[in-house]
Homo-oligomer: A and B are copies of this chain.
Amino acid sequence: MARRAEETRERIDRTALRLFAEKGVDQATINDIATGAGIAEGTIYRHYKNKEELIWGLFSSNYVALADRLDRLQEAETGLRAKLEAMVSMFCSLYECDPAMFSFLLLVQHRQLPRVTPAMPSPVKVVREVLSQAMERGEIAPRDPEPLTAIVFGIVLQPAVFKVYGRIERPLTELSSQLAEACWMALKPTSIGTG
């Protein structure tokens, strides 16, 4: 009985994520999702209080999961270069494995980020921490880590955006090491004489 509810919920989640990514959050209606999941509209409201909570539920769980995966990856590596490569590589393969989830996160971050509390794990926090620690270790010059974090995210996310819009045709995984290299170089600049 609880089994059935769980399966229904998974169907809702999967369908909603796909439709949100395809059509946008406002354009994908509850009816679209219910039809796509093969259930009644009302059933969605047995699992989520309202549409906004459905969006938030999907966002937060995936966002936190992503942060956790990133954190485990970086911890397993030593040195900024290796950490960057691990994280960038994961991002790229994430896109290939689950492009809908990737697009979804990209799409709704603008609306959902304000709800992210400082206590929640977040990919941004993980990357900033990695950079801060690299500064402490003297791998890169000590600076405000925030712009550097933005730069790293930009280098990885924007090619993904290009991929989504068809401007880039090759699999992102093939670009993985190029992007990691770009991050590495972009971070080094004022560190001349530091390493």
Contacts and interface: CB of A to CB of B under 8 A. Distances in A.
A168 B150 contact: yes
Please tell me how many copies of the chain the complex holds. Answer: 4
A24 interface: yes
Contacts of A147: 159, 162, 168, 175, 178-179
A188 B190 CA distance: 15
Given A146-B162, A158-B158, A165-B113, A182 B24 contact: no
B155 A161 contact: no
Contacts of A165: 113-114
Contacts of A187: 182
A159 B145 CA distance: 12
Contact of A150 (B124, B150, B159): B159
A79 interface: no
Closest 9 CB pairs of A and B: A154-B154, A154-B158, A150-B159, A182-B186, A185-B185, A150-B162, A186-B186, A26-B26, A150-B158
Interface of A: 24, 26, 107, 110-111, 113-114, 124, 144, 146-147, 149-151, 153-159, 161-162, 165, 167-168, 170, 175, 178-179, 181-183, 185-190
22 contacts: A24-B110, A24-B111, A26-B26, A146-B162, A149-B162, A150-B161, A150-B168, A151-B154, A151-B155, A151-B158, A151-B159, A151-B179, A153-B154, A153-B158, A154-B158, A178-B189, A181-B190, A182-B186, A182-B189, A183-B186, A185-B186, A185-B189
